Amino acid sequence: MLFIYNANIVSLKGVIERGAVFIYEGKIKHIVENHDVDYFLVEKPDVEIVNAEGAWLLPGFIDVHVHGGNGFDFMDASQKSLQGISEFHAQHGTTTMLATTVTSSKENIEKVLQSVVSLQKKDQLFAQIIGVHLEGPFISRNKLGAQNPNYVIPPRLDWLKEWIDKFPEVIKILTLAPEKEKAVEMIRYGVEQGIVIACGHTDAVHEEMETAYEAGLTHSVHMFNAMSGMHHREPGVVGSILVNEGISTEIIADGEHVHPVCIDLLTKLKNKDNLLLITDAMSAAGLGDGIYNLGGLNVVVKDNVARLKEGDNLAGSSLTMIEGFKYMVNKVGLSVPEVSKLASYNPAKRLGMEEQIGSVDEGLQADLLLVSKDLHIEKVWKDGELLKFFV
């Protein structure tokens, strides 16, 4: 049992100043106001007591779009890589994530799916990898970003059916270009199977976006990046997403992918639980400058900015969730509670898991972060257990 008190608890109902949480069997059992704390502070031999000393108590971050970190890539499809990525990002506040693929061969994508299935049969000690986000290969060659053009293909519904049959409930998000032939058919089928269908790496026009939305598309990846822009006579993908409350989107808050003014605009238009903070981190996250590989393409990281060696396109990021969180507070001007929703509750809701994770609320998993006033991670708990880095 664990009792954390003297914390500024960020809940969906607001900030509980100098409040406390009581954690039992990995769940948040009670949340108490300051004046009720004394009862719980009575010394009990089986209760660990933590004085937060006025720090923020936040729900663990949920990253639905992350490719790697600390030298590891999910496309490695090894247990060592999956565990290495999970361990690295857990140190920076991520407690739940989706293993995100890149455009690659069918065989390589299947290896990632199998590796996640194998991992889920074990105890996950760090950030929990709850499934896979398939980013590609059903995308547009006109908006490749850092995706490998050698593996771009039109939507193959037979592939998706095979993957769902072999790896049931593993694919959580599927990103595609909705303007491609047979994309609408894939959208409808994916939605029927409980998969969140997203647009990304797409050159669609507004009419095509409307058709995709009617078919069940409800999400979009890395807003403004690798998608058709907005023109006053053709709204494109950007305009379609901005005006449609039913399509959620993601933001990479690193100061390179999107100008802070555009992020500010986005937060004003996407203010109904439909904006998600992500990292889109590649293997270079945590390692600094150098030459790396992403989906078979060489990437140069300089001053923590990742770009393709050939073509100079941005290639993912070296971001962590807490760094993106700080940027949203310090550069964009959102409050800590506002950014907490983007980093935790909104991703949980997008995945249909808000009754399990994503907020500090009674009955939910005790995936919690203790974060200082200057937004440094002090402690991370997963299912009520303090991660080893913070012991």
Task: List active site positions.
Answer: 280
Residues 6+ apart with CB under 8 A from 245: 272, 274
Residue 225 is assigned to a ligand binding site: yes
How far is 387 from 391, CA to CA, in rounded Å?
A: 7
Q: Which of 146, 7, 108, 127 is nearest to 60 (CA)?
A: 127
Residue 226 is assigned to a ligand binding site: yes
Looking at residue 242, its amino acid is L
Looking at residue 118, its amino acid is S
Residue 316 is assigned to a ligand binding site: yes
Q: 56 pairs with which residues across the strands?
A: 8, 371
Residue 314 is assigned to a ligand binding site: yes
Residue 127 is assigned to a ligand binding site: no
Residue 222 is assigned to a ligand binding site: yes
Exposed, middle or buried, 198 (CB in 10 Å: 0-12/13-18/19+)?
buried
Residue 206 is assigned to a ligand binding site: no
Residue 67 is assigned to a ligand binding site: no
Instruction: Please give the structure tokens belonging to residue 142.
Output: 């006109």
Residue 257 is assigned to a ligand binding site: yes
Q: Work out the angle at residue 85's Cα, subtended by the Cα atoms of residues 149 and 63, and round it to the nearest 5 degrees.
A: 75
CA distances from 202 to 103, 171, 183, 262, 285 (A): 13, 20, 12, 19, 26
Residue 212 is assigned to a ligand binding site: no
Residue 275 is assigned to a ligand binding site: no
| Element spanning 290, H or E | strand 290-294
Q: Which of 62, 65, 63, 61 is nearest to 316 (CA)?
A: 65
How many distinct helices (H) and strands (E) make up the chain?
A: 11, 21
For every residue of 15-75, DSSP letters joined together read EEEEEEEEEETTEEEEEE-GGGHHHHTS--TT-EEEE-TT-EEEEPEEEEEE-EETTEEGG
Q: 369 pairs with which residues across the strands?
A: 58, 380
Can you tell me whether residue 220 is helix, strand or coil?
A: strand
Q: Which of 197, 202, 211, 272 is nearest to 242 (CA)?
A: 272
Exposed, middle or buried, 80 (CB in 10 Å: 0-12/13-18/19+)?
exposed
Which residues does the annotation place in the binding site?
Answer: 135, 146, 201, 222, 225-226, 233, 257, 314-316
Which residues does the annotation place in the binding site for Zn(2+)?
Answer: 135, 201, 222
Which residues does the annotation place in the binding site for substrate?
Answer: 146, 225-226, 233, 257, 314-316
